[in-house]
Amino acid sequence: MAFHEVRFPDNISRGARGGPERRTQIVELASGDEERNASWANSRRRYDVAYGIRRADDLAAVVAFFEARNGRLHGFRFKDWTDYQALAQLIGQGDGVTKTFQLVKTYASGGEVETRVITKPVSGTVKIYRDGVEAVSGWSVNTATGLVTFNVAPSSGVQVTADFEFDVPARFDSDQMDLTIETYQLGSWGQIPVLEIRP
């Protein structure tokens, strides 16, 4: 299962419909009460890129991208225009030994916090801070995994934070493009589903 480090066309992803989904099992008891159970520990994003296609050349670009990925076979980067930035994200605390930290994004509301592992940061957008002071050198980031590695481990107690943009690792969720040619350079299409690949 190869992953192609190439991004789906931005001008088309900008018009896509979709976002995070959860899987919850709900059992209604005889009393009318409910029991709810989360089947998934984390959300998964799903999109329909057909909404972003506006011209014949957009459709041609999607078909070319689909063919180059061999349908569902190969993954790719996808920009979710509703959620692609992270600021002041705590990625770890120094202990004087650990040199590698995983980029994450946290979502907080009403005292609850969910942490999302970020594996596809956008090259050139990552900034790393030690106790709020930017570290302009002495570290590197792997844009294929989201791992930040320091040359020298941050000292014990140092808060390591990051600002960055990121893509969603994704794949097509169909091996078929359902297209209809109606007139010259004019067609119609059904759904073109794209699904997040979770780490």
pLDDT tens-digit readout, 181-199: 665 555 557 789 999 998 7
Domain match, 104 and 124 both: yes
pLDDT of residue 56: 78
Contact 51, 124 (CB under 8 A): no
d(CA 10, CA 69): 17
Domain match, 3 and 75 both: yes
pLDDT of residue 3: 96
Domain match, 94 and 16 both: no
Domain match, 38 and 25 both: yes
Residue with tokens 């159970």: 37
Measured in whole angstroms, the distance separating CA 174 from the mean position of its chain's CA atoms is 19
Report the number of distinct structural domains present in the chain. 2
pLDDT of residue 155: 96
The residue ranking higher by pLDDT, 22 or 184, is 22
Structure-token pair, residue 25: 């099992």
d(CA 165, CA 86): 6
* Range 33-49 average pLDDT: 87
Domain match, 133 and 105 both: yes
pLDDT of residue 55: 80
pLDDT of residue 40: 79
pLDDT of residue 106: 97
Q: Is the dihedral of CA 117, 121, 125, 128 positive or negative?
A: positive
Domain of 187 in residue numbering reads as 1-83+168-199
The model's pTM is 0.88
Mean of all residue pLDDT scores within the chain? 91
pLDDT of residue 186: 55
Domain match, 18 and 79 both: yes
Strands 147-150 and 159-165, by their bridges, are: unpaired
Domain match, 47 and 142 both: no
d(CA 36, CA 128): 39
The residue ranking higher by pLDDT, 55 or 81, is 81
The residue ranking higher by pLDDT, 33 or 64, is 64
